[in-house]
Amino acid sequence: MSTEISDQLATASAAVAGVVAAVRDDQLDQATPCANFQVRDLLNHLIQVVHNFQAMARREEVDWTPGPDRLAGQWRTAFAAETSRLVDAWSDPDALEGDSAGMGLPQRVIGQMVLGDLVVHGWDLARATGQEYRVDPTLLPAVREFLDGMVETGRKMGAFGDPVDCPPDAGEFGELLALTGRDPAWQC
C-alpha cells in the first residue's frame, strides 16, 4: 500500500540517497548553504530527520538533541536503507490521520515537512559537494503548500532564514529555496 506522501517521499529519497552516496570523505568539512552546517553536520541532520520522521509516522516519541557523529561504518548505504524505511512508515494511511502528539500539527503536515527537508537539504548537500541535483517537479506543490503554511513559524524557530531575492530565471524551485532563506545561486 502507498499514500501520496509515501510516493512523494520515495521520489525525493531516491534523489537524496544518490547525492549522499556520492559524498566523498574529503568533502565532509566543506561549507553548505545552511550557514551553521558543514557537510558533516548536514549529513548528521539528514540521518536524524530520516530516523525521527519514521517514528513520527508511527506516533512514537522522538529526540532532536544532537547525538554522536552518525557517519560511521557504511553510512552511505545505511542512509538509503533508512530512507526506504521512511517511505514504508508513511505508506500506512493511518500515518496521515489526526495530529502529531509531539508537534501538535496534522500528520499530513508532518509528512510534508519531511518531504521539504529531503528536497531542500538534498539541494544543500548537492550544492556543497558540487553535484547535480534535479528535483522532480511533481514534488514542488507539496513543498510549496508546506512552506506557505509553515515558513513564518519555521523562521521564528530558526529553521528558515529570512527570504532572499530570487533571480527571475530561478524557476519554481529557486523561488522555494529563496523563501527558505537560501540563495538559489549559492556555490561552494
Residues forming a β-bridge with 38: 31
* Stated pTM of the model: 0.95
Query: Any residues with CB less than 8 A from the CB of 56 and at least 6 apart, and which?
Result: 62, 100, 102, 103, 107, 110, 114
Contact 111, 95 (CB under 8 A): yes
Find, among 80, 81, 90, the residue nearest to 115 by Cα.
90
pLDDT in tens, 103-131: 889 999 999 999 999 999 999 999 999 99
- Separation of alpha carbons 99 and 116, rounded Å: 18
Walk me through the domains of the chain, giving residue ranges and CATH numbers.
Answer: 4-141 (1.20.120.450)
10-41: pLDDT as tens digits: 999 999 999 999 999 999 999 999 888 999 99
